[in-house]
Each structure stands twice: as structure tokens, then as C-alpha cells.
Amino acid sequence: MTRPGLPKLIATDLDGTLVRSDDTVSAYTHEVLDRVRAAGIPVVGATGRGPRLTELTRNDIRAADFLVMAGGGRVVDQSDPAGPVVLRDERLPAEVLARILADLEAEVGPLTVMVEASDEHDAPLWGDRDPSWPYQDRFEPRTRAECLSSDVIKAFARTADHHVDELLDVARRIVPPEVATLTQAGLGFVEICPPGVDKATGLAVVAQTLGVDPGDVLVFGDMPNDLPMFAWAGWSRVAVSNAHPAVRAAADEVTLRNDDDGVAVYLDRLLSR
């Protein structure tokens, strides 16, 4: 049982929210999250990272009972003593992605495209090499045909002629939500996910498993891919101060930036009430 006055579930984004700019999570943050769990509140790591980065994700949020990964497409219950249980695993059909990319390129011109197709540990992304992509050590050049040879977890697309938010607006105008979910996570690429896949629907799987109402869920985030869970959760929606303007506008509260352990500071104060 959670204490009166506290949320019954806490979910936080990782990169840009819980994780600092130097790709670390402070000992203070880990300690506070451990106290959250000790108070009887399940913790969820809700991230755009794909399942190939599960071990990295577990290290960054060691207290997590559940992981919502790939922007909601992969949901894992880590609380089972017998081992992790996959509760959701969604893929985007290759032929659907091919049509989306063709329609987008007809509107905006050639795209740089990468796909996340494998869930093996530390598997690379495939596609067009782009110097702006921050994770070159986990990338493998592949032709468009190779990228479209199988269903994918998600795809990434950008063009040098459009800011990512502008490209996202264009893509949402062209691609119906029943075909794919489109978002961006601060990496300069539009992310193309299976239809119905976002952090809200991923968290809903967790909430249903636990019997928790969305109104009892507290969430933290920084980028547009966090907006669905901001719209879904009802206890409070908290943005870090370095968040995208759209996320700050949608937030109930703003905490310190990620580099100042804003999530942990907020939760520390919450537990100390």
C-alpha cells in the first residue's frame, strides 16, 4: 500500500530527464528512487531506447519494476522473481514503413533514414550514416532495401532542410495516426513507431497489470515523445527545466534540470512531506 497523499505509480523518462548530459545518473538519484520503492511505489523507466539497450537502461534506473521501451512498443515486467516478462512487443511492418517514407520524400525530398530492427544486446541501427547521430558506435550502414527487408521496432528520419519539429508537423499531416505514431525525442530525427504505440499506451499496460488508475500516476519528461504520457497521467506531470517548450507548456510543475537531478530533488521533497 502506498502512503496517503502519494502517487501509486511513478514513471520517468531517462535521457534528458533522469540521465544527465554526461550520460550518468547520480548516486543521489539512485538513492531517492530506492526510497520511492521502499515507500511501496512502483517505478517505471519510460524511454525511447529500444530493447537492444535494455542492459544500459537497467543500469540507469536500477530501481525500475517495469521498463517501457521503444517509446511504448516494448513493455517489460522486471518484478517477477522468475525473470523479466515481456508484456508488449509491437513492430511496424516493412511495407507500411516503405509507403510512409515514399510519401514523406514526395513532400520534403530525400530523407536520411535509420531503422531499429534487432533487439539483440547492443545491436546497431541500420541505414544512412549521418554525422549528427550521437551514437556512431552502434550504427551500421545499410541500403534502404536492406532496411526495409523486415519489420522494425521503429525508424528514424530527418532532412537537413527542415527543423525536426517542422518535419514532424509535415509528417503528421501526411501520415494518419492509424498508420504510424510519429514523434521526436530530441535527437534531431522524427521517430516512426507502430500505430497506437507511445509512452501512454505503454504505461497503460503497466497500470493495468498493477490495477493502478491513470489519475494516481506521476510522470516526468522533457521531450515531445513524453507528451502522450503527460496527457494520460493524472497525479502530476512534471517537466525538467531543460525540457522542450511544448513539454513545459503541458506540465503541471517544473523541477530542476536533469543536470541538477531535478527528478530526484522533486521526489525527495515528495517523500519528505
4 in any annotated domain: no
Q: Are residues 81 and 31 in the same domain?
A: yes
**What confidence score (pLDDT) does residue 4 get?**
59
Three-class SS of residue 105? helix
Check whether residue 163 and residue 43 sit in a common domain: no
Residue 3 belongs to some domain of the structure: no
| Opening angle at CA 230, ends 26 and 4, nearest 5 | 75
What does the DSSP assignment read for 123-136? PPEEE---TT-S-G
Establish if 154 belongs to a structural domain.
yes
- pLDDT at position 80: 85
pLDDT of residue 137: 86
C-alpha distances out from residue 128 to 38, 140, 215, Å: 45, 8, 42
Amino acid at 107: E
The predicted structure's pLDDT at residue 77: 97
Tens digit of each residue's pLDDT (9 = 90 or more) over 140-179: 999 999 999 999 999 999 998 999 999 999 999 999 999 9
202 & 68 share domain: yes
Residues 98 and 124 in one domain: yes
Say yes or no: 29 and 164 in one domain: no
224 assigned to some structural domain: yes
Tell me if 2 is assigned to some domain.
no
Q: Which residues contact 4 (CB under 8 A, 6 or more apart)?
A: none
- List the grid coordinates of 237: 506531470
Reply yes or no on whether the pLDDT at 1 is more than 70. no
- Asked whether the predicted pLDDT for residue 2 surpasses 70, the reply is no
d(CA 178, CA 201): 14
Q: Evaluate whether residue 186 is within a structural domain.
A: yes
Average confidence (pLDDT) over 58-63:
97
Q: Do residues 84 and 103 share a domain?
A: no
180 and 219, same domain (yes or no): no
Domain boundary among 159, 193, 227: 193
Q: How many CA atoms lie within 13 A of 209 on its CB side?
A: 22
- Is residue 226 one of the residues assigned to a domain? yes
pLDDT tens per residue, range 101-144: 999 999 999 999 999 999 999 999 999 999 989 888 889 999 99
Q: Are residues 82 and 98 in the same domain?
A: no
Task: Report if residue 215 sits inside a domain.
Answer: yes
Tell me the CATH number at 217.
3.40.50.1000
Q: Where is the domain boundary, 166, 193, 220?
A: 193
Give the range of the structural domain holding residue 251, as residue numbers without chain letter. Answer: 9-89+197-271
CATH (domain of 138):
3.30.1240.10
CA distance 96 to 160: 24
DSSP class of residue 49 equals -
Query: Comparing C-alpha atoms, which of 200, 251, 193, 181 is closest to residue 9?
Result: 200
Nearest to 43 by CA among 69, 78, 1, 15: 78
Neighbours of 204 (CB within 10 A): 21
Same-domain pairing of 127 and 189: yes
Q: Indicate whether 3 pLDDT > 70.
A: no
Cα 199-201-203 angle, rounded to 5 deg: 65
Tell whether 102 and 65 lie within a shared domain: no
Beta bridge partners of 147: none
79 and 98 housed in the same domain? no
* 154 lies in the same domain as 83: no
Instruction: Report pLDDT for 5.
Output: 84
Out of 193, 221, 241, a domain closes at: 193
The tally of domains found in the chain comes to 2
